[in-house]
Structure 1
């Protein structure tokens, strides 16, 4: 059975799957440290909001598939495939994520992914009319 930290992360992933941005941001601490490695990190909830709102992805669907999850105290590790629907087509990015929970919120979040894979997926769907 999962502990409280793992439940917070699983609920967060489900919020992404529903594109429920109110729940997504509510799960994060106001002073969250978010690093979408290899990109530049964001510090604070407003910086994270600006990052997602300014990404230009225009996603109208999401499906984060958790392949493996491991929890040690307040730290939760995930191996995922994050899928986003853009221009009626899906992109899929392999991701390893680390979440540190403090005070019932995500205080630190680091995702590790291959930037070239992301860029290739985006190039594939930009201008695509159908999935």
Structure 2
């Protein structure tokens, strides 16, 4: 039996908690369009891998807490409200956001998260961590 769009996204969130970079990237299409609005969109798995790897490899733990999840009327768009949190030792950096995932089959072909990136940057900087590439000048 095929997974529902919501289950595909729930499984994707679990990959983040597992810090499974390969699993995250492979859950997306080769030409995935990924944006952490207002950061410019990244296109393709390689760009996505580069962006997510720094924080996923540096974090001791990652949480993706779904507050709300719904499938849009088109049957392939899943809307989420989440709190993502990255743990570095005893420091926790939470991020409240809205996410839009568009599926092509059982793969994510578009992913947009809307959040206050400035808050994330200031929290990361305050604990001595560097945000992912593209958020600040690298």
Which range, TM-score by smaller chain?
0.7 to 0.9
CA distance in 1: counterparts of 2:85 and 2:6, whole angstroms: 21
Q: Work out whether residues 90 and 125 of structure 1, in 8 Å CA contact, stay in contact via their aligned partners in 2.
A: no
Shift >3 Å, 4+ stretches? 54-57
Q: Work out whether residues 97 and 110 of structure 1, in 8 Å CA contact, stay in contact via their aligned partners in 2.
A: yes
Q: Work out whether residues 57 and 86 of structure 1, in 8 Å CA contact, stay in contact via their aligned partners in 2.
A: no
Unpaired segments of 5 or more residues in structure 2? 130-138
CA distance in 1: counterparts of 2:24 and 2:90, whole angstroms: 23
CA distance 1:61–1:55, change in 2 (3 Å): closer
Query: TM-score, normalized by length of structure 2?
Result: 0.83
CA distance in 1: counterparts of 2:93 and 2:30, whole angstroms: 30
Unpaired segments of 5 or more residues in structure 1? none
Aligned length: 125
Q: CA RMSD, aligned part only?
A: 1.9
2:35 maps to 35
2:59 maps to 59
The correspondence of residues 1-131 of structure 1 with structure 2, limited to 5 A, is 4-54=4-54, 58-72=58-72, 73-126=75-128
Query: TM-score, normalized by length of structure 1?
Result: 0.87
